[in-house]
Amino acid sequence: MEREQAILQQLSDGEFHSGEELAVKEGISRAAIWKIIQSLLEQGIEIHAVRGRGYRLAEPLEFLDQATIVASLDAGIDRPIASIEVHQHIDSTNTYLMSRAKCGLPGPAVCLAEGQSAGRGRQGRYWVSPYGANLYLSLLWRFSIEAEALSGLSLVTGVAVTRALQTLGVRGNGLKWPNDVLWRQRKLGGILLEFGGESSGPCYVVAGIGLNVAMPKTLDRAIDQPWVDMRTNLGRGPISRNRLAARLISEIVSAFGAFEKAGFGVFREEWNRLDLALGRRIELRLPNRSVSGVGRGVDDTGALLIETTAGIERYLGGEISLRLDV
């Protein structure tokens, strides 16, 4: 791992480096360099190998850096961040923060990783998390109110993520209830909220955000749903993941603070503007039945409103999934 890290560091400028140059700098053989390059390719890292010139990354790589992220946070950030950790490899930033939260880690705390070996999505799905390509971020927030009062928080997270994306120039994306971040019906990002603590007392939430920044095309088959990345939306790269991380943290902290004070109601209008199902025929799949109707946005608690033949019905979170009729 450390060797791979060192080679990536050398290639991070996006320029060609010969096998010999890399071997000399690392003090290992060219064959060993070749093996490391193969392992990086297997992890989905896009490296071009050209005879006579050497190796180069498809795009320069900006490593995640704690100090750069801290320096780029909003000056007037509502609440000081207790800790920001950047990991190279981790199983899952959510799993990690949930276990630290159980041991009393103060909030707000942030964990980012260059790559996840067991990234988790909603409904037990696997979140494909290749090294250095995308953003994998989790934020721990402690609430003095009980978990029941937090319905709507997952929608608030979607609004905060959208605000962050928009300040970076992303356009035309919307939200699919409760919080899928989509562009042209493809997944640009996902949000996984996990709760812990007392059900009738102080509790905490870990909000995990995965954003596709520059997903290697070689991983297309590993992803079980239509996807898109920021590079495609913006029509350019490279994208500063440090800046993106700082924007996300600033927006989430500001939105969670506002939610704590005023509840979901103050986000409702903005969420409804981003709602991809508004006024469209939708099908909501529940564990043992499905409901068809027209999407009518959400109410003040974040519950989904569907106009069916029986009138307006409201549905809360859980294992509900929503399909858009195209």
> What are the residues binding ligand BTN (CB under 6 A)?
92-94, 116, 119-122, 125, 127, 136-138, 180, 190-192, 208-210
Q: Which one is catalytic: 122, 142, 243, 281?
A: 122
Q: Which one is catalytic: 3, 30, 281, 323?
A: 323
What single letter denotes the amino acid at residue 282?
A: I
d(Cα 326, Cα 182) in Å, to the nearest integer? 14
Of the pair 121, 152, the CB lying nearest ligand BTN is at 121
Active site residue 289: no
> C-beta of 181: minimal distance to ligand BTN in Å?
8
Active site residue 35: no
Active site residue 122: yes
Tokens of 326: 């195209």
> C-beta of 21: minimal distance to ligand BTN in Å?
35
> C-beta of 219: minimal distance to ligand BTN in Å?
15
Q: Which one is catalytic: 56, 100, 163, 187?
A: 187
Residue 36 near residue 55, CB atoms below 8 Å: no
What single letter denotes the amino acid at residue 162?
A: T
Of the pair 11, 140, the CB lying nearest ligand BTN is at 140
Residue 84 near residue 110, CB atoms below 8 Å: yes
Closest by Cα among 160, 140, 153, 164 to 83: 140
Of the pair 134, 233, the CB lying nearest ligand BTN is at 134
Residue 93 near residue 111, CB atoms below 8 Å: yes
Of the pair 7, 248, the CB lying nearest ligand BTN is at 248
> C-beta of 186: minimal distance to ligand BTN in Å?
12
Instruction: Give the single-character DSSP code of 145.
Output: S
* C-alpha distances out from residue 58 to 16, 47, 119, 237, 272, Å: 10, 6, 24, 11, 39
Question: Which residue's CB atom is positioned nearest to ligand BTN?
Answer: 190
d(Cα 169, Cα 165) in Å, to the nearest integer? 7
Active site residues: 122, 187, 323
